[in-house]
Amino acid sequence: MNNCQFLLTLLLLSGCDSSLPKGGEEPPLEIEEYLSVNLTHFSLPEVGGTQTLSITANTVWNAYSNALWCSTSPNTGSHGNTSVLISAPSNYTGVARTAEVTFTAGKVSKTCVVSQESAQMPNYVPDGYSLVWQDEFETPRMPDSDKWWYETGKSGWGNHELQNYVPGLIGQDTCALVSNGTLKIIAKKRGSEVVSIRMNTIEGWTYGYFEGRLKLPTGKGTWPAFWMMPKNFTTWPGDGEIDIMEEVGYDPNTILSTIHCKAYNHSIGTQKGGSRYVSTAQTDFHIYAVEWTEDFIKGYVDGVCYFTFLNDKAGNKDTWPFYAPFYLKLNLAWGGDWGGAQGVDESKLPATYEIDYIRVYQKITQ
């Protein structure tokens, strides 16, 4: 090798970077992850509300709330700026509460603390009534068998419903459970069928103010109800029916209160009832009630009367069979003539109907 060849070889070798991977490709640059949240703490109203946060990131991020009562939407995002809605229902727990919402992008995390004071539970009970029966669902357990009994079976229940009503627990499937201060009635898939709950009070009452604080399930096919039937039932609709609250999943947040008797019932299109739109019926608890006297039946939601049915005083059971003891019913149907009128969406199962309390009041003079 002459001197010129040696110098050329040396120049070529010195121009090679041994740090490059095989093939001569540059190593990828590591991007520094960036995440910012415009608030680190805020308070929501005690009666429930929302707050919008601004999230900025240069990569995929996720959000997580450590409290069930505090929700985020959306809970994931990507590059750029995203508005995130933080929501909480009304706080009637009796104590102030806090939640931490954590946002994470790769190795970077930011936390926002959400606080909410406790609100005083509204009292919509009419004057002159005293509490005579209640279930507050405070102790974790199955529903109290001294107060409730189950109706079971999959007969369609006169409405071509699709669910099989079970007695609370079937195998490992719990469909009625008291936890965290509420009763959960759960409709769920079990094999090829949908199982759910239809439960009734053992006791019955003639006249009174009947109240439940409820949060309704979501999903096309759900049909939650809070209603009353006569203790000494012999025939429908002749013995009467009082529907305190009904809603179907394909028409969310539209609440109905209805009565049925021989002269007025849905099978002949003459039922008497009223409806009201409650925008947060599926995301928050509301108080649904009926006041029943010898003169009228009135349906309420959050203290607002939206349905009145008067006793015509004709002395005719066909138009007013409401003078005998009735008991209370809670159930979550799946499908049926009304609940399934626009089909069912089994991807929404399990669906949960949540009950904070059920209370019965009667006139002090009774």
Let me know: does 259 contact 290? Beta carbons within 8 Å. no
Largest CA distance in the chain: 129
Clarify whether 291 is annotated catalytic.
Answer: no
Among candidate residues 161, 246, 247, 291, the one labeled active-site is 246
Three-state DSSP state, 109: strand
Clarify whether 241 is annotated catalytic.
Answer: yes
Residue with tokens 């409730």: 148
Residue 302 CA to residue 289 CA, distance in Å, equals 8
Let me know: does 329 contact 147? Beta carbons within 8 Å. no
Let me know: does 319 contact 338? Beta carbons within 8 Å. no
How many helices (H) and strands (E) in the chain? 2, 28
Among candidate residues 161, 211, 241, 354, the one labeled active-site is 241
Residue 299 CA to residue 356 CA, distance in Å, equals 19
DSSP string, 260-328: E-SSS-GGGT--EEEEEE-TTTTTS-EEEEEEE-SSEEEEEETTEEEEEEE---S--TTT---SS-EEE
Length of the chain as a residue count: 366
Let me know: does 311 contact 240? Beta carbons within 8 Å. no
Let me know: does 264 contact 270? Beta carbons within 8 Å. yes
Residue 168 CA to residue 242 CA, distance in Å, equals 24
Residue 112 CA to residue 93 CA, distance in Å, equals 22
DSSP string, 329-359: EEEEEEBHHHHTBTB--GGG-SEEEEEEEEE
Question: Do the bridges between strand 326-334 and strand 198-205 make them parallel or antiparallel, or are there none, so unpaired?
Answer: antiparallel
Residue 306 CA to residue 38 CA, distance in Å, equals 43
Please identify every residue annotated as catalytic: 241, 246
